[in-house]
């Protein structure tokens, strides 16, 4: 995380900002620079208005989650804080409430039940946040969902194409479920990749529709 840090002075120079450093803190140009270049700057929550604080907090949460996906062995804030590359950043991240966003359970609970998340895991909400930050997508979550459906059929089909886990737990239609099952290729693959899909197919008598038995 520390490698993403830029000083306010460095950003001021990069922007050729003519005002004072104190004025830059509340200027939209500062956050836009951070979002565009995927860098962070030490700020206090009080430096930003409510809307700016929400945007910057979401940005910091997404960057921290991205960092943690690269280091799945980190299962608590204490472990995160002790990393050699978070020494300069963990303090102000804590002030923006990042701890509660990325480690929502108590420290003791995390230590008792550590969960190692595979790098192939991706939810639609996380994908949406990533596109907001990295590609400056400005549409709503529902509009983003519809866009994915238009381009790939469903988020599950995007995951199949890109090699991510299928995180869909709700199947809106027989058509989508059958299409995803067909793309997985076999009942065994469905069992391995998506328990929710298997359950949907079984409860709606669609197993043989998806995988018809060949006549002898």
Each residue's pLDDT tens digit, 151-165: 999 899 988 888 888
Q: Count Cβ atoms below 10 Å from residue 79 Cβ, excluding itself.
A: 18
Strand partners for 40: 5
**pLDDT for the residue 115:** 46
**pLDDT for the residue 113:** 43
- 3-state SS, one letter per residue, for 11-67: HHHHHCCCCCHHHHCCCHHHHHHHHHHCCECCCCHHHCCHHHHHHHHHHHHHHHHHH
**pLDDT for the residue 118:** 60
Which residue positions in the chain have pLDDT lower than 50? 106-115, 215-216
Global pTM reads: 0.51
Each residue's pLDDT tens digit, 49-89: 988 999 999 999 999 999 998 888 888 888 998 999 999 99
Cα–Cα distance measured from residue 88 to residue 69, given in angstroms and rounded to the nearest whole number:
20
Chain position carrying tokens 């120079």: 13
Closest CA to 93 of 67, 125, 74, 73: 67
**pLDDT for the residue 33:** 94
Query: Is the distance from CB of 148 to CB of 154 less than 8 angstroms?
Result: yes
Q: Around 127, how many Cα atoms within 13 Å sit in the side-chain half-sphere?
A: 19
């Amino acid at each position: 995380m520390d490698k993403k840090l830029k000083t306010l002075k460095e950003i001021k120079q990069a922007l050729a900002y003519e005002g004072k450093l104190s004025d830059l803190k509340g200027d939209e140009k500062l956050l836009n620079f951070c979002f565009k270049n995927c860098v962070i700057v030490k700020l206090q929550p009080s430096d930003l208005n409510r809307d700016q604080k929400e945007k910057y907090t979401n940005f910091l949460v997404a960057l921290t989650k991205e960092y943690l996906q690269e280091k799945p062995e980190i299962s608590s804030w204490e472990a995160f804080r002790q990393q050699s590359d978070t020494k300069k950043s963990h303090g102000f991240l804590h002030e923006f409430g990042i701890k509660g966003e990325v480690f929502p359970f108590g420290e003791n609970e995390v230590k008792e039940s550590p969960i190692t998340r595979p790098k192939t895991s991706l939810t639609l909400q996380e994908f949406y946040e990533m596109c907001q930050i990295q590609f400056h997508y400005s549409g709503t979550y529902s509009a983003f969902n519809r866009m994915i459906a238009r381009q790939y059929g469903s988020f599950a089909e995007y995951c199949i194409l890109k090699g991510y886990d299928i995180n869909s737990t709700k199947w809106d239609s027989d058509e989508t479920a059958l299409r995803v099952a067909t793309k997985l290729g076999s009942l065994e693959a469905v069992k391995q990749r998506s328990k929710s899909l298997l359950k949907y197919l079984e409860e709606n008598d669609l197993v043989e529709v998806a995988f018809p038995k060949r006549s002898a």
